[in-house]
Amino acid sequence: MPTSLVQNESILAIEVGSATTRAVLFDVVEGQYRFVAAGRAPSTAEAPFRDIGIGVREAISSLQEVTGGRLLGQDGNLIAPSQPDGSGVDSAVATISAGPIVRTVIVGLLPDVSIGSARHLAESTYSRVVETLDLSDHRKPDQQLDAILRARPDLVILTGGTDGGASRSMMKMLETVGLACYLMPQQKRPMALYAGNRELAGDVQELLGEHAGMLKISHNVRPALDEEDATSASGELAALFVNLRQRQLKGVDELNLWTGGNILPTSYAQGRMVRFLSRQYESTRGLLSVNIGASATTVAAGFGGDLVLRTYPQFGLGENLSGLLQHTDLESIMRWLPLDISPNTLREYLFQKSLYPGTLPATSDDQAIAQAIARQVMYLAVRAARRSFPVGGQASRDVLPSLDLIVAGGGAVSDGLSLGQSLLMLLDAIQPVGILPILIDQNNLLPLLGVAAARNNYLPVQVIDSGAFIGLGTVVSVSASAKYGEQILRAKMTYSDGTDARVDLKFGGLEVLPLSSGQTARLSLQPLQRADAGLGPGRSGSVTVTGGAMGVVIDGRGRPLQLPSDPVRRRETIKKWYYTVGG
């Protein structure tokens, strides 16, 4: 069993979200790192508080109440390192997603090549692309300059040219960006990331070094035309994001001091962990992590160590909800509702919630609306990210490739829901295919493990192995072309004691077979009508499945999921599904 490199070091991990701030304590118990406890408080980045430090201290105070230990001194400062009387912690780390959306200008050469890579970089953090400059842009340089100034960017991402490749066109655009930065007031100059042709790095330094708010130069994100490697650029972008937040939000400087500079954007930390896990567990088909929060919905998928990281502020459940209808329609949200409400009520809900993003649903009806919105934003985010996944043998880009594991986090998928409701939400929104386990990250630990890994490599593995995530169980999703109610699968689960359970699955149905956490069983699947239960169309076979809080769930509702078009029947069907997973 591995031992920690830093022995017995307790770590306080803080996540500053736009609605909630969490403080989580990791410590060594019986020689292994464990998740000890978590405290939370409303975030205070916004008015009237406008100091994240208030929320951070309240979250730590809440953690103190849980653990009984003292982490804050009389002066309100973090006690570090830990003291002989047991107070304090040895070190602290933090992630941050709070703050205004990062207005981003992307600059590159070819729209489908370097601009594509710049867009991927922008989508890896909490940004919105507000202006694009590339070779297809026929505006004059002064018009481009005015466009950048009007865009009021917080960040400029410059890509373009393979290493040793084109430079002249890139230089022209660099000059325009440099001039634009020069013309902006000093305190409003954007952060700049250069991730293009490395031979231009010196020129970039000369043109932008003095005029950008801060300049980072990374390895080329497109070292060759057919190769994209965002590893170095993503790291530099994460550093720029934290610097930007230091400039924008009071209290980030102090947190930076407490953590010795160990602050990462929450989405980046989540991605780092997913990449690590996909390597650690040798995931060949892919590991998908979805985190749905007030700032954004983040989708991170690891494919054998390659990471797809997409952060969608437009699909956040906070202030950006007022803009959600630019990306979807009311009917698409209402299809998930077991309630009969008017479209206007839903529209009012979206706008009212955007005024008070930190508020919580107090009633079950309010919670049902919140869950319907969460389903739709998760559905949209996963579909948007799916475009960057390997094709995975699926005929349609709307259907996910077969994956090894799904881990979901964020208050919307766990707070106030039964585990069955959480599972149903994930099945509805993600619509996985094939056979795979699903985990819930109830305490939103994944990003915090990602940033804590910088302090101790063993911590994430040991914390995950200790069961910090809740295994909901194994899901078998059956794709079929059938009529509602037609039988599409016969399944038999044989338990380790020799007993068995059988189920005949009908199209549109959902079946649950009990299997406790930690137990395994043999599941025989016999598809009918060329249905695909993860073994190929019409193919029968047996697989070993692991249990979980919900056992083994067989989802025969089709891929993409088919919902009855009649609203009354749809609501009844949704209630029936809720009932199947335990209400």
Residues making contact with other proteins (CB under 8 A): 41-42, 44-50, 54, 58, 99-100, 140-142, 145-146, 149, 179, 182-183, 185, 248, 319, 344-345, 347-349, 351-353, 355-356, 358-367, 415-418
Residue 376's nearest CA partner among 336, 322, 326 is 336
The values of phi and psi at residue 403, to 5°, are -120, 165
CB of 133 to other proteins, least distance (A): 14
Strands (E), 304-442: 306-312, 405-409, 434-441
Q: Please say which residue, 149 or 535, places its beta carbon nearer to other proteins.
A: 149
Closer Cβ to other proteins, 98 or 287, answer by number:
98
**Residue 483 tokens, joined:** 């009529």
Q: Which two tokens stand for residue 532?
A: 């695909």
Q: Which residue number, 7 or 363, has a Cβ lying nearer to other proteins? A: 363
Side-chain-side CA neighbours of 378 within 13 Å: the count stands at 29
Residue closer to other proteins by CB (options 51, 229) is 51
Integer Cα distance of 411 and 43 in angstroms: 14
- Measuring CA to CA, which residue among 203, 113, 202, 192 is closest to residue 157? 192
Please, which residues have CB within 8 angstroms of residue 346's CB and are 6 or more apart in sequence? 330, 333, 334, 369
Question: For other proteins, which is the closer residue by CB, 363 or 499?
Answer: 363
The dihedral over CA atoms of 180, 182, 188, 189, expressed in degrees to the nearest 10, equals 80
- Minimum CB separation of residue 91 from other proteins in Å reads 27
> Can you tell me the distance from the alpha carbon of 21 to that of 263, in angstroms, rounded to the nearest whole number?
14
Minimum distance from residue 363 beta carbon to other proteins (Å): 5
Closest distance between other proteins and the C-beta of residue 176, in Å? 9
Nearer to other proteins, 134 or 319 (CB): 319
Single out the residue of 435, 454, 413, 436 nearest to residue 94, CA to CA: 454
In the complex, the smallest distance separating the C-beta of residue 320 from other proteins, rounded to whole angstroms, is 12
Judged by CB, which is closer to other proteins: 441, or 532?
A: 441
Task: Give least dist CB 405 to other proteins, A.
Answer: 27
User: What is the C-alpha to C-alpha distance for residues 88 and 64, in angstroms, rounded to an integer?
Assistant: 10
In the complex with other proteins, which residue's Cβ is closer, 184 or 201? 184
Q: Which is nearer to other proteins, 365 or 465 (CB)?
A: 365
Measuring CA to CA, how many Å separate 108 from each of 137, 158, 189, 197, 394? 10, 6, 20, 10, 32
- Residue 395 to residue 352: CA distance in whole angstroms: 40
- Where do we find the tokens 């994944």? 446
Find out whether 432 and 406 touch, Cβ atoms under 8 Å.
yes
Q: Which residues does 257 contact at the CB level (< 8 Å), separation at least 6?
A: none
Strand order in the sheet with 32-42: 32-42, 20-29, 11-16, 91-96, 263-265
Range list of H helices, 68-164: 114-123, 141-151
- 30 membership: H or E segment, kind and range: none
Beta carbon nearer to other proteins, 53 or 271: 53
CB nearer to other proteins: give 23 or 288: 23
- Nearest-approach distance from CB 337 to other proteins, in angstroms: 15
Q: How far is the CB of 307 from other proteins (least distance, A)?
A: 31
Minimum CB separation of residue 394 from other proteins in Å reads 35
Kindly state the smallest distance separating residue 563's Cβ from other proteins, in Å: 24
Cβ closest to other proteins, residue 228 vs residue 319? 319
- Nearest to other proteins of 140, 397 (CB atom): 140
Distance separating alpha carbons of residues 484 and 124, to the nearest angstrom: 40
Least distance (Å) from other proteins to the CB of residue 364?
6
CB of 44 to other proteins, least distance (A): 8
Q: Is the distance from CB of 459 to CB of 452 less than 8 angstroms?
A: yes
- Cβ neighbors of 480 (< 8 A, separation 6 or more) are 488, 507, 527, 529, 530, 531, 532, 556, 558
Question: Which residue matches tokens 């190929």?
Answer: 536
Give me the amino acid identity at 193.
L
Q: Which residue lies nearer to other proteins by CB, 268 or 349?
A: 349
Q: Minimum CB separation from other proteins for residue 142, in Å?
A: 4
Q: Is the peptide bond before 48 cis (omega within 30 degrees of 0)?
A: yes
- Least distance between other proteins and beta carbon 418 (Å): 8
SS3 (DSSP) at 76:
coil
Q: Which is nearer to other proteins, 186 or 499 (CB)?
A: 186
Parallel, antiparallel, or unpaired: how do β-strands 287-292 and 297-303 relate?
antiparallel
Smallest gap from Cβ 143 to other proteins, in A, equals 8
